[in-house]
Amino acid sequence: MKYPDIDKYADMDSPIHRIEPRIKVISFGILIVSAVFAGSIRAASLFLILSVLILIISRLPLRFILGRVKIICVFLVPILLLMPLTVPGTPIFTVGFMILSKEGLDFAVLVSVRSVAAIILVITMLGTQRFDTTLKALSMLYVPGIIIQMLLFTYRYIYVMIDEFMNIWCSMQAKGYRFRFNSHGLSMIGNLIGMLLIKSYERAERVYQAMIGKGYTGKPVSFSSFKITGTDYLFCSAAIVAVTGIYIINPGLL
């Protein structure tokens, strides 16, 4: 069973891995927000180049990154196909009643480049440190505890849900079930999802009571020691300078 471990390579060693978690969250946060609000294709492309450079420095395996970026690309395909046809503007190609506009194509490319740049930055940030360390850094940056707990439990129970799903699925197949795309097949999938939700709810109740019994307080616990060094300040400063430089080159950034 392959699990979607976002921090699978957190124990590697690279300049990005060694950045203090709080500084890393702040620096990457600045870059991600700036990339998302890039106002032109040129600005978004610069952020994409910057994100790839940081990714190369982090030494994360290319297969690990591509496996997660391709999921985002699936959602970008409809945007690339529909935006040029639905946004009015200068026609560059016409087939019957369908008009492909330049403005729509530019907007679709802009959204796609922004998205890829932002997701590469997010994966690089989360992939270069343990997830519990990221949560502790967010807690020390005064992110509300309820948000941190939601992130913690969502990440933790992705694996539990996968295990439960596979157990039910294997049980169905052992009884002779083979999926067919018809009303019976869809009905069985609906039953499977319902059973999965009930099992998850019951497990959540048991785990919650067990955690309360063990003194759970809602505060993330990590054994990682945090210490900000001059290199950390240098990285954060470089991120701010890079965003400022891109903004100067492209005044319509924000």
Average pLDDT for the chain: 84
Q: What per-residue confidence (pLDDT) applies to 223? A: 61
SS3 24: helix
Q: What per-residue confidence (pLDDT) applies to 88? A: 80
Q: pLDDT band at 47, cuts 50/70/90? A: very high
Residue whose tokens read 């948000």: 147
What is the rounded CA–CA span in Å between residue 17 and residue 7?
A: 11
Checking if the pLDDT of 57 tops 90, the result is yes
Q: What per-residue confidence (pLDDT) applies to 136? A: 85
Q: pLDDT band at 103, cuts 50/70/90? A: confident
Percent of the chain clearing pLDDT 70 (strictly above): 94
What is the rounded CA–CA span in Å between residue 113 and residue 157?
A: 31
**Which tens digit of pLDDT belongs to each residue from 10-27?**
888 899 999 999 999 999
Checking if the pLDDT of 62 tops 90, the result is no
Q: What per-residue confidence (pLDDT) applies to 122? A: 93
* Alpha carbon 228 to chain centroid, angstroms: 26
Q: What per-residue confidence (pLDDT) applies to 174? A: 83
> Exposed/middle/buried for 207, CB within 10 Å: 0-12, 13-18, 19+?
middle
Checking if the pLDDT of 74 tops 90, the result is no
Checking if the pLDDT of 97 tops 80, the result is no
CA separation (Å) from 105 to 43, 90, 102, 159, 250? 16, 10, 5, 39, 20
Checking if the pLDDT of 148 tops 80, the result is yes
Among candidates 59, 50, 58, 21, which has minimal Cα distance to 238? 50
What is the rounded CA–CA span in Å between residue 80 and residue 105?
A: 7
Among candidates 222, 226, 229, which has minimal Cα distance to 15? 229
The whole-number average pLDDT for the span 86-101 is: 79
**Prediction pTM value:** 0.79
Checking if the pLDDT of 31 tops 70, the result is yes
Q: pLDDT band at 224, cuts 50/70/90? A: low
Q: What per-residue confidence (pLDDT) applies to 218? A: 65
Among candidates 41, 37, 112, which has minimal Cα distance to 81? 112
Checking if the pLDDT of 29 tops 70, the result is yes
**Cβ atoms of residues 23 and 235 within 8 Å:** yes
What is the rounded CA–CA span in Å between residue 115 and residue 85?
A: 20
What is the rounded CA–CA span in Å between residue 162 and residue 164?
A: 5
Checking if the pLDDT of 30 tops 90, the result is yes
Q: What per-residue confidence (pLDDT) applies to 117? A: 93
What is the rounded CA–CA span in Å between residue 58 and residue 124?
A: 7
17: left (phi over 0), alpha (psi -120 to 50) or beta: alpha
**Which tens digit of pLDDT belongs to each residue from 162-176?**
888 888 888 888 887
Q: What per-residue confidence (pLDDT) applies to 33? A: 93
- Nearest 5°: the CA angle 150, 153, 155 is 105
Amino acid identity of residue 63, one-letter, is R
